[in-house]
Structure 1
Amino acid sequence: MSNKKKKKNNMKKKKDVPIEAFKDMSAEYGDKAWNILEHAIRRIYNHNARNILSFEELYRNACNMIFHGFGEKLYSGLVAIMTSQLKEMATSVAATRTSSFLKELNRKWNDHSKALRKIRDILMYMDTTYIPKTNKTPVYELGLSLWRENVIYSNQIRTRLSNMLLVLVCKDYAGEVVDRKLIRYITNMLMDLGPSVYMQEFENPLLQVSAEFYRAESQKLIERYDCGDYLKKAEMRLNEVIDKVSHFLDPNTQKKITIVVEKEMIENHMLRLIHMENSGLVNMIGDDKYKDLIRMYNLFRRVTGGLSQIREVMTSYIRDYGKQLVTGPERLKNPVEFVQRLLDEKDKFSRIINMAFSNDKLFQKDLYFSFEFIINLNPRSPEYISLFLDDKLQNGLKGISEDVVEITLNKVMVLFRYLQEKDVFEKYYKKHLAKRLLSGKTVSDDAERSLIAKLKTECGYQFTAKLEGMLTDMKTSLDPMKSFYASHPELGDADGATLTVQVLKTGSWPTQSSVTCNIPTEMLLLCEKFLLYYLSNHTDRKLSWQTNMGTADLKATFENGQKHELNVSTYQMCVLMLFNNADRLSYKEIEQATEIPASDLKMCLQSLALVKGKNVLRKEPMNNYVSEIDAFFVNDKFSRKLYKVKIGSVVAETEPEPEKLKTQKKVEEERRPQIQASIVRIMKSRKKLEHNNLVAEVTKQLQSRFLANPTEVKKQIESLIERVFLERDNSDRKLYRYLA
């Protein structure tokens, strides 16, 4: 017979063997099997499991009990034996003296945990078959539940356990040495029993005790220390508690404890710390206490509303201090110092925000609006900023590197950005730039062009078009002068009078109506020659002399033989050259001979006769002002170490009130067409718009140049309605329609 046939016959024989069914087991078998398991469980709890039956036999007995219907007997017996063992453990723990209580509890817990794992392995079959069908608690969870009910919730253990844990934690808070590992073991046990047990028995009481501990601690510290020292202590306490609890608490509890400490140490004392006399936030800012400010920022940012409190106080301080800077009469006397103080304060607060407040954007925003508020409190701020730039671009930036010049200009541009009336600044800046260029006093063309480029970036091409035109005129004026002297070689004599003319376009320069005076004969001949030459080469043009904007260099010889070259204004030249033919002249004689306007003549004579060290003239009577009854004569004793002497003009640093009113009126007149143009642009795109919305959009569109007055906007709307650009809606008088 072949091998295949043998295998086939063997398979048939195996199939024919009947499987004998398990016999019904009596109650005696169930009792016997349970007795074996009960005995084994007790031996396991008593650490005497070496001589018990093998794991396989115990496992088989448990399986047979389930298979033959003794599942309930097995489960209820397990509950009974475990309850009995745990009650004994609870009694043992409760009888332990205080010093060893937690250690004994932890030891019993470890015993129970080890026993429970072994029991679970023996009863695995019950866990996977019987328990799911009957919806009973699995073995391991049952063991935890019984431990909780019989040990942790025992009357002799529950309160004692919670109190002892809290005592140990408070000792740790106070700096005493405690067994952190033991605390960790106990808290882990509570977590194993379930988050609700952990929270109820430990976490909630701990948070309450921690709050009480640090509330008392903070009160003690705040009564003893000033703000800076208190913040140091609070920072140290926070770092300590975070480090300590990380050793024995659940991470979620660490976060909750940290919040509690932050609330008690910081949040509850925020206002008192900020406003603490002689050491609070205002004092820190005033004394540049960067370390304290950094600490306050880092601590206050951890609590709700902390940073907003700092911002509120800082903003109030900046605005109050700024009001003093821009409204105090004494502080307004010198425009250059006025702006420099603002720059210094802006630098100071920018450094504080950058270094102490992590360059926080909300703090930056508050600083911006605070300085915008401060600068616009003073209506003369646009003029003062222009005067500051005029001072720096004349002589304040000489000998300074280009980088430093750029930094200075950038700082001033920050102040310019705060201005609401930028068009007023433009008016003054144009006047000051004209004087610098025509007098040759500008520090450099590069610096001038750099500033104009910054203004263009900030406000657009239209804002700087005329300023750029002024620089262009100064450059192009060189060519006509070269051609003039080339065509008149006889005028090139170094000992004779020479003339330099800047030909300026009326549209770009802030020229006044033609201001003239009686020019000395020597210069008048040259002026007429240049006029004939220029008009012969440029048809359809007209030249008008602006004698109030010119300068001259005079060679003077005094009675003592002292020779000097005097740099003077055109007005001063006209006055001084009168004394070539006269020894003494009255005010009236000078006024009649020169025809210089009275206000300008008085300032001119004041600069020539009353400025110490540069008094080329003397006057009678000797006093500190010029009047119409004065007489003037040459100061024969005039002498200076340098050959070249600059005789400055006495001018008002700020614009006199009448001139200021004229400038303001002119600015308002120039705003009207801009407002009208904005209204038309908006209405052309929107077709119809309600009054308040139109005013808001016009204000927003023009804010880069000035803050539009709603009353003026309304007037211009009425003007456009009269000129049939707009009309009111028949049903709603506040609604405007655009008429194409």
Structure 2
Amino acid sequence: MVLYKHGETLYQGTKKLIAENLDKLANEYIVPAFPTHVDADPLEKAQAGELLLKAVRKVWDDHTSSLSKLRDVLKYMDRVYTKSKQVPEIWDAGLLSFIEHIVRAPIQGHIISAVLNQLFDERADVSVYKRDLEPVLLRESEAFYQKEGSHLLETCDAAEYLRRVESRLDQEESRAHHFLSSQTSLPLRRILEEKLISPHLSTIISMPNSGLDVMIDLDKIDDLARLYRLFVMVPAGIPTLRKALRETIIRRGRDINSASLSLEGEEAQEDEDVEKSSKAKGKGKARAGNAGSQVLSLALKWVQDVLDMKDKFDKTWSGAFQSDRDVESSTNEAFEAFINMHEKAPEFISLFIDDNLKKGLKGKTDAEVDTVLDKTITIFRFLADKDVFERYYKGHLAKRLRLGRSVSDDAERNMLAKLKVECGYQFTQKLEGMFHDMKISAETMQAYRNHLATTSAPDVEISVIVMTSTFWPMSHSGSPCNFPAELLKTAKSFEQFYLSRHSGRRLTWQPSLGNADIRARFNSRTHDLNVSTYALVILLLFEDLADGTSLSYQDIKSATAIPDTDLQRNLQSLACAKYKILKKHPYGRDVNPEDSFTFNADFSAPLQKIKISTVAARVESTDERKETKDRVEEERRHQTEACIVRIMKNRKHMTHNDLVSEVARQLSSRFQPNPLNIKKRIEGLIEREYLERCEDRKSYNYLA
């Protein structure tokens, strides 16, 4: 028909057919379902509305089914006629007819009313759930989990309790998702948290044989991770965990400290008992370096125990506590607390580093040593008195450098770099100066050997380290000692050479820091001995004496001028230790001013080369420890005053509180200054007119 120009007739006829079919469907389905009582009962009204909507849906389904078939038949008309005439396609025209004949008045109002009633009914169902069902569900759940929590605590250990609670949470989440309103999930979860977790935080952590301590001891990472996941759900969970971790770390740390102190006390008592026994019998055996070796063994054990504990808690923190920064802060505070409870912590840490940087360590590669030192730095970081550590470290480093005992120059400088990162360049300035002195000394000795090659060389070969007095831990005046003629000649030769190259300088010999290699002839064989410079001077006194000739303690002291303390230690090393190069009369462990000594010509040992270690000085007495503490306090006073002047020179004017805070901040890398001491130093600087107090009495000005 479209081809024969009858498209209009076909289009209009189809629309008429659609309208007639809609009227037929309306009379068949909608009219019987049309509401008849406007003011009917709400229930009847709702039922009538539902019937009307079902009738409309029936008509809609039939109508769209018919339209679909018509569209298939009239595709050509839609493609040609409707586009040329710009009229709706037959599908769209059919939808418009449905709106006109079915949806609009007089039925439109009733359809809208029926839809609204359906919505109101749906809302009413939710309201009933929220008003009647959910409160009962939550109330019963609360009572159930109240009993459940008590029951589980009585029947389960900590790990099992946590597993049950986590399982309950998962079950309720699934139950709410499948059977309840999604809105019930959150209040139900809160009930579980309030009844199974919040009230029992401390109980779970402190359960005997299964709580936090046991989980940590047995490396129960999964259980600890579960504990963290559950604790993080409630507000008090993480604070409770942090407190418990801090307490357990400090308790464990105190045990390590106590073990160290008790071992030290036992060994000190043992030494005292041996000494008393020796005196009673009139004889004894000195143990060279005994006190020093005891301190070293205690230090190594203490530091290793602390490192092992730090490793354990680091693994727990990363593996179970999701690297929680708040938890890390608490563990660090705890380590800092117990480490600073041990008065020898600075010395022990320095000894541990010293032991790892010495030559001759077995079973450790450079990488392993570096790893250990990295871990040690984490403990060093917790030290409050870093200036005390520096004092010990400087002494240990000086000994390694003087005796050539460093595992490598790179390892030493790597350690210095670590300390520099932690404390700044001022902390390592003197330590780096020691390395510089070693380098310059090596160059100087090479130049001196070249010089000797062109002149008459002394009989004794010498190797000198020229140490800047402000860098090295030593007496500025030098220890007195009368060198034998052959040693004095060699010393003068080097001194003249050095001063010819460095005018205006003064050399002070430090025999207490030196050592010597000598060849000694005994009846059975010859031995090469490595001894201290003092021991060398003592042994040379016996060189020209007849066999069996003795020298008294006073004779040796007069001839050598060695101080009593050093003289006794060196005589003890030569006559009372493992290798008895001299004989002491009377035989005994300690050296007294009444003793006399002879050369032991009958000495023999299986080794050709023998090192005679100087008997270590005793552990500091109470008076010596007080003297050391006083020296540290004196240094701190100078550092505090220098810091105050430096700050005020830069700022010119500061309030008291700001100045104290800034001084404490800048000095914290070395030690923790007391605000009262800072105030005293400020008063001292005011008296010396470096500062002046302002009229407000609360601030200061810098005086140029």
The TM-score, its normalising length taken from structure 1, stands at 0.74
Alpha-carbon separation, structure 1, partners of 2:610 and 2:472: 29
2:168 alignment partner in structure 1? 237
Q: 1:595 aligns with which of 554, 558, 561?
A: 561
Aligned to 1:553: 517
Aligned pair in 2 of structure 1 residues 83, 379: CA closer, same or farther (>3 Å)?
same
Number of the residue aligned with 1:360: 324
1:83/1:534 CA distance change after superposition, 3 Å: closer
Provide closer, same or farther for how the CA distance between residues 685 and 549 of structure 1 changes in structure 2, counting only shifts above 3 A: closer
Tell me whether 1:717 sits opposite 2:678 in the alignment.
Answer: no
**Are positions 1:574 and 2:549 aligned together?**
no
Q: Displacement, 1:659?
A: 4.4
1: distance between equivalents of 2:198 and 2:630? 54
Q: Does 1:315 align with 2:246?
A: yes
| Cα 1:536/1:658, change in 2 over 3 Å | farther
Q: CA 1:330/1:211 → structure 2, altered by over 3 Å: closer, same or farther?
A: same
What residue number does 2:609 align with?
A: 644
Q: Cα–Cα, structure 1 residues 80 and 367, in superposed 2: closer, same or farther, change >3 Å?
A: closer
Q: Does 365-374 or 618-627 show the bigger shift? A: 618-627
Is 2:447 the counterpart of 1:461? no
Matched, 1:203 2:137: no
1:554-580, Cα deviation, whole Å (9 max, x unpaired): 21222112x322222112222223332
2:309 is the counterpart of 1:345: yes
- Residue 547 of structure 1 deviates from its aligned partner by 0.4
Q: 1:656 Cα deviation (Å)?
A: 4.9
Letter in 1 for 2:384: Q
Rate the CA distance shift 1:216–1:555 in 2: closer, same or farther, 3 A.
same
CA 1:358–1:636: 2 relative to 1, 3 Å: farther
- Which sits farther off after the overlay, 595-604 or 114-123? 114-123
Is it true that 1:680 corresponds to 2:645 in the alignment?
yes
Q: Which amino acid aligns with 1:57?
A: N
Q: Which residue in the other structure is 1:498 paired with?
A: 461
Q: 1:688·1:737 contact (CA, 8 Å) conserved in 2?
A: yes
Query: How does 1:694-705 map onto structure 2 within 5 Å?
Result: 694-705=659-670
Q: CA deviation at 1:515?
A: 0.9
Match of 2:115 in 1: 140
Sequence identity percentage: 40
Of 411, 415, 430 in structure 2, the residue corresponding to residue 447 of structure 1 is 411
| Cα pair 1:516 1:596 within 8 Å, conserved | yes
The corresponding residue for 1:6 is none
State whether structure 2 residue 408 is matched by structure 1 residue 408.
no
C-alpha distance after superposition, 1:532-571 (max 9, x if no partner) = 222223221211100010011121222112x322222112
Structure 1: distance between partners of 2:653 and 2:29: 90
User: Which of 219, 222, 232 is residue 153 of structure 2 equivalent to?
Assistant: 222
Read off the aligned partner of 1:290 and give its amino acid letter.
Answer: I
CA contact 2:524–2:604 (8 Å) conserved in 1: no
1:577 and 1:287, CA in 2 relative to 1: closer, same or farther beyond 3 A?
A: farther
Q: Distance in 2 between matches of 1:407 and 1:439?
A: 25
The Cα offsets for residues 511-543 of structure 1, whole Å up to 9 and x where unpaired, read as 212113122333222112111222223221211
Is 1:264 equivalent to 2:229 in the alignment? no
Distance 1:566 1:113, change over 3 A: farther
Q: Which residue of 1 aligns with 2:570?
A: 604
SS of residue paired to 1:579:
coil
Shift of 1:353: 1.3
Whole-angstrom distance in 1 between the partners of 2:312 and 2:199: 30
Cα distance change on mapping 1:287 and 1:611 into 2, 3 Å: farther
1:127 and 1:282 mapped to 2: Cα distance?
A: 80
Aligned residue-pair number = 606
Residue 437 (structure 2) pairs with residue 437 (structure 1): no
Name 2:470's counterpart in structure 1. Answer: 507
Match of 2:237 among 294, 306, 312: 306
C-alpha contact (below 8 Å) 2:46/2:117 kept by paired residues = no
Aligned equivalents of 2:105, 2:43: Cα separation in 1: 16
Matched residues in 2 for 1:127 and 1:605: separation? 128
User: Within the alignment, does 1:282 sit opposite 2:213 as a pair?
Assistant: yes
In structure 1, the gaps of 5 or more residues are: 1-51, 66-70, 87-110, 147-190
Residue 182 of structure 2 corresponds to 251
**CA distance in 1 between partners of 2:59 and 2:105 (Å):** 9
Contact 2:574 2:581 in 1 (8 A): yes
Quickly say closer, same or farther: Cα 1:545–1:258, change in 2 above 3 A: same
Which residue of structure 1 lines up, in the alignment, with residue 497 of structure 2?
Answer: 533
Task: Give the counterpart letter for 2:27 in structure 1.
Answer: E
Q: Among residues 15, 18, 27, which one is paired with 1:57 in the alignment? A: 27
Corresponding residue for 1:615?
A: 580
User: How far apart are the structure 2 equivalents of 1:113 and 1:639?
Assistant: 124
CA gap of 1:220–1:531, structure 2 versus 1, over 3 A, is: same
Supply the distance in 1 between the matched residues of 2:311 and 2:618 (Cα, whole angstroms): 26
Q: Is the Cα contact below 8 Å between 1:335 and 1:654 reproduced in 2?
A: no
2:564 and 2:688 map into 1 onto residues whose CA distance is: 45
Does the CA-based 8 Å contact 1:572-1:608 persist in structure 2?
yes
Shifted more, 545-554 versus 393-402: the winner is 393-402
CA distance in 2 between partners of 1:381 and 1:391 (Å):
15
Q: In 2, distance between residues paired with 1:687 and 1:537?
A: 45
* Structure 2 Cα separation of the partners of residues 221 and 271 of structure 1: 15
Question: What is aligned with 2:255?
Answer: 324
Cα distance change of structure 1 residues 258 and 114 upon mapping to structure 2, 3 Å threshold: farther
Change (3 A) 1:283 1:60: closer
- Is this contact kept in 1: 2:222–2:320, CA < 8 A? yes
Query: Do 1:676 and 1:717's aligned partners in 2 also have CA atoms closer than 8 Å?
Result: yes
Offset of residue 443 of structure 1: 1.7
Query: What is the one-letter code of the residue matched to 2:257?
Result: V
Specify every segment of 5 or more residues in structure 2 that has no aligned partner in the other structure, as ranges. 1-21, 61-97, 265-294
The structural deviation recorded for 1:263 is 2.8
Report the residue type matching 1:330 in the other structure.
Answer: S
Structure 2: which amino acid aligns with 1:357? F
CA distance in 2, matches of 1:298, 1:722: 60
Residue aligned with 2:594, SS: coil
Deviation at 1:424, TM superposition (A): 2.1
- Alignment deviations for residues 578-625 of structure 1 (CA, whole Å, 9 cap, x no partner): 33234333322222222221111222222223333x333332333332
Aligned partners of 2:523 and 2:603 also within 8 Å: no
CA distance in 1, matches of 2:456, 2:335: 55
Deviation for aligned residue 1:362? 0.8
Distance 1:700 1:127 in 2: 86
Distance 1:567 1:116, change over 3 A: farther
Distance 1:632 1:684, change over 3 A: closer
Higher relative contact order (CA 8 A, sep 6+): 2
1:76–1:127 Cα change, 3 Å: farther
Q: 1:611 to 1:115 in 2, by over 3 A?
A: farther
Q: Which residue of 1 aligns with 2:272?
A: none
For residues 255-313 of structure 1, give each alpha carbon's deviation from its aligned partner in whole angstroms, at most 9, with x where no partner exists.
Answer: 33233223322223222111112221123223433332222112212222112111101
When residues 489 and 192 of structure 1 are mapped into structure 2, their CA distance, relative to the original with a 3 A threshold, is: same
TM-superposed CA distance for 1:692, in Å, is 2.8
